[in-house]
Amino acid sequence: MDSYLLSLLQLCDSNLPTGAFSHSFGLETYIQNEQVVSKQTFAKWLQVYVREQLVYNDGLALRLAYEALVQDQWETLWNLDRMITVQSMARETREGSARMGQRMMQLGMELYLIPALVGYQDRVQAKQSSGHPAIVFAIIAHHLAVPKSTAILSYLYSCTASLIQNGVRGIPLGQTDGQRLFQELQSYLLQAVEKIEGLDEDDFGITSPGIEISQMKHERLHIRLFMS
C-alpha cells in the first residue's frame, strides 16, 4: 500500500482549514446574474472552469513546480509564484489565493518538516513571494513522494470539490445533486491531467475571459456569500 495515501487524503479533505469554503472564484457573479441557476448550468460552468482556469493556471503551475522541485530549481519555483500571482487580474481572487496558500503553507509546516516550505514562508514574510496553494501543494506532494500525475489529479479534485460545495450553498442545490455533479465531472478531471502533462510553459496563464470578468465584478456585488 502506498505510504503517502493517508497524508494525501488529509491534504485533499474539504475539512482542511485553508479557507476554500469562503471563495467562489467568480461563481457567485454567475449565480447572481442568473446564468448558473441549476445543476445543468453549474455543470457547464464547472467544465469551463476546469478546462480553462485549472488546466492552464493552477494545474500547470503545480506540474511545473513539481518538476522544478525534482531538479532543485528554486528560482524556477519562485518565478512560478510570481507568474501565477501577477496573471490574476481580479484583486479578490489574487488575494484569496494568497491567503489560502499561506494557510496551507502554515498547516504543512505544522504537520511536516519540509525545508522548501520554510524557505517559501521566509520569502512570503519578506514579501518576495505571495504564496499560492498550487505551489504549496506541489511542495508537500513532492515531500510525500506522491507521483506527479497523482498530485495534479488530487489538487484538481480538491479544488473542484470545494467549488461544488460552495455551489450547493450558493445556488442552492441539494447535496445529492452535488455528488452527482462530482461523479459526472470525474472524466473531465482525468482528461485535464492528460492535458496538463502535455502543455509547455508558454501555455501558462490562458484564462476564460468570462470567468476573469466575473471575478473582477464580484467585489461590486451588493450581497455576497463569498469573499471572491
Check if the beta carbon of residue 169 is closer than 8 Å to that of residue 225: yes
Mean pLDDT of 218-223: 85
Report the alpha-carbon distance of residue 101 to residue 121 in Å, rounded.
Answer: 10
- The C-alpha angle with vertex 224 and arms to 59 and 171, in degrees rounded to 5, equals 70
Query: What is the predicted pLDDT for the residue at 74?
Result: 95
Q: Check pLDDT > 90 for residue 40.
A: yes
What would the pLDDT profile of 119-152 be if each residue is shown by its tens digit? Answer: 999 999 999 999 999 999 999 999 999 999 999 9
Q: Is 24 helix (H, G, I), strand (E, B) or coil?
A: coil
The share of the chain scoring above pLDDT 70, in percent, equals: 100
Report the alpha-carbon distance of residue 205 to residue 53 in Å, rounded.
Answer: 8
Q: What is the mean pLDDT of the chain?
A: 94
- Which domains does the chain possess? 5-10+24-220 (1.10.4190.10)
Q: Name the more confident of 218 and 195.
A: 195
Query: What is the predicted pLDDT for the residue at 148?
Result: 98
DSSP state of 26: T
Residue with cell string 492535458: 195
Can you say whether the dihedral through the CA atoms of 225, 60, 185, 144 is positive or negative? negative
DSSP state of 19: S
What would the pLDDT profile of 45-95 be if each residue is shown by its tens digit? Answer: 999 999 999 999 999 999 999 999 999 999 999 999 999 999 888 899 999
